[in-house]
Structure 1
Amino acid sequence: MVEAEISEVEKLFDLNVWSIIRTTRHFVPLLRNSKTGALLVNNTSGNSIMPMPFQGPYNASKAAAAMVTQNLPFGIKVIDLKTGAVKSHFHENSTTRVNPVLPENSLYTPAKEKMESIFRGEININLMPAEEYAKRVVNDLSKDNPPLIIWRGDSATKAWLASFAPLGFTDGLLKKISGLDVVEQILKAKVGKKTD
């Protein structure tokens, strides 16, 4: 997060937060006048509650989107769709991941190779096929009384369960999943050499 380009963070908040507020403001009059019951669904992320390493700006924007969702006007059913891992073009579409290269003065330079592979999305996680995800979400939203928070996508249930665990446990687990544990070991070894 400390090395993220502010302009890129602003783009994420524009896309994931301000767009929800702007769009909702335009449609609230129609939604409030619905005779059949209005339903508004915002696609946030499991990362809105999970401190996924190296995705701080994204996580923060999705957490803000989730909070906006919970504070939208009464009289409209608003659902927070917390999406987990889905096979998509997420990494290919990210401008910072097309050719991920650490800056020369990065805190993570000692673990450069591992870091850049993480940025490219080379993390060992399962991805739910997009078609399966879409079918499940449509089924959820087609219910007479869908829940206010829907968890869909691979690992979404795990994220929900982890939200009840102590932060230290979750943090350690996420380090292992993301490869940050290896980065941490490399950085500690480098610091150890400097103090010898």
Structure 2
Amino acid sequence: MVVMTGETRFALVTGCGRGGIGEALVKEYARRGVHPIATVLPHENSDHLTEAGIAFFPLDVTVEKSVLELKASVQKLTGGRLDILVNCAGIAYTMTAIDTDVEAVKRMFDINVFGPMRMVKHFHPMIIAAKGAIVNIGSIGGIIPFLYGCSPSPLGNTLRVEMKPFDVKVITVISGEVSTNILKSDAHRTLPEGSFYTPIAKNFEQHVNRTPGKCSSAHYLDGATDRFQYASNVVNMSLRSAPPAWFWYGSFTVMTRFLDTFGWRTVWDTIMWNMFGLQKLKVAHQGQVKRGI
């Protein structure tokens, strides 16, 4: 039983299912002496949090009622203050842009974009009361035109400016490749029949079935950052009195940041072309055109 005092700091982290970044974050906050509050989906296994002695509540960020119920629970636990909110809940959707299922993308936006908006809308009074921090977990996928998926970034620059008068810090984490199980829902995704990308369907299959952090036949997928190492650095940054507005961390972020800062806007075109073998796709398409397919 944790005794709550005026000195106790609280960190609420969404999306703390087993094997993800959220789980690593709450464990790191606990290690740093910050009282972590985790959330899991209402029907998600929570044994990993119970075993670690971490308080958790059910939450579906797409449901207003669920967010309000969490708010009531957190207010009771913390006395109406919240030092850190980490918007970590998110899902991946892997597909070519031209083959995208719009309904699936709507669901991704509801979780990855509107979810953080709901959390900020309902928790900002508690964060302001603590002069705390909001941490939004983003991805280099929102910076570069990564094939087979774009990652909508959560709240960013506008929120940072708007919260400054209340002494609330807002940090956007630009994450590189991190060894998590976020791709579990994409593992069996395939290209739709008749897709123009069918000639490189094997490439797509390898991409959606990759395990970040483990060796892959595609060299660019190797070397993912360990999620606990990632969590240590993100937590450390969130506890600073003057953290940067954007925090880049994880595999490939150094190169991405450099090219995004100093490269021309289309610098990624050639990189992605070579990385995903698009020359093979072009040749196959030209052959089909010649054959009248």
**TM (normalized to structure 1)?**
0.83
Tell me the percent identity: 23
The residue type equivalent to 1:186 in the other structure is A
**2:166 aligned with 1:69:** no
Q: Which structure shows the higher strand fraction? A: 2
How far residue 194 of structure 1 moved from its aligned partner, in angstroms, is 4.0
Distance of 1:112 and 1:77 partners within structure 2: 44
Instruction: List alignment gaps of at least 5 residues for structure 1.
Output: none
In the other structure, the counterpart of 2:39 is none
How many residues of Structure 1 are paired with residues of Structure 2 in the alignment? 183
Match of 2:114 among 10, 15, 18: 18
Q: Deviation per CA, 1:95-121: give whole Å up to 9, x if none.
A: xx2223222121112322223223333
In the other structure, the counterpart of 2:206 is 117
How far residue 175 of structure 1 moved from its aligned partner, in angstroms, is 2.5
How far residue 177 of structure 1 moved from its aligned partner, in angstroms, is 2.5
User: Are 1:87 and 1:127, in contact at CA under 8 Å, matched by a contact in 2?
Assistant: yes
Larger radius of gyration: 2
**2:243 aligned with 1:146:** yes
Q: Is the deviation greater in 179-188 or in 9-18?
A: 179-188
Match of 2:289 among 188, 191, 196: 191
**2:128 aligned with 1:40:** no
The residue type equivalent to 1:128 in the other structure is T
Q: How does 1:83-94 map to 2 (within 5 A)?
A: 83-92=175-184, 94=185
Q: For CA contacts below 8 A with separation 6 or more, give which structure has more relative contact order.
A: 1
> For the structure 1 residues 188 and 167, does the alpha-carbon distance in structure 2 shift closer, same or farther, using more than 3 Å as the test?
farther
User: Are 1:53 and 1:180, in contact at CA under 8 Å, matched by a contact in 2?
Assistant: no
Q: How does 1:169-180 map to 2 (within 5 A)?
A: 169-180=267-278
How far residue 193 of structure 1 moved from its aligned partner, in angstroms, is 4.6
Q: Which structure shows the higher helix fraction? A: 1
> For the structure 1 residues 115 and 188, does the alpha-carbon distance in structure 2 shift closer, same or farther, using more than 3 Å as the test?
farther
Instruction: List alignment gaps of at least 5 residues for structure 2.
Output: 1-96, 211-215
The residue type equivalent to 1:190 in the other structure is Q
Alpha-carbon RMSD: 2.1
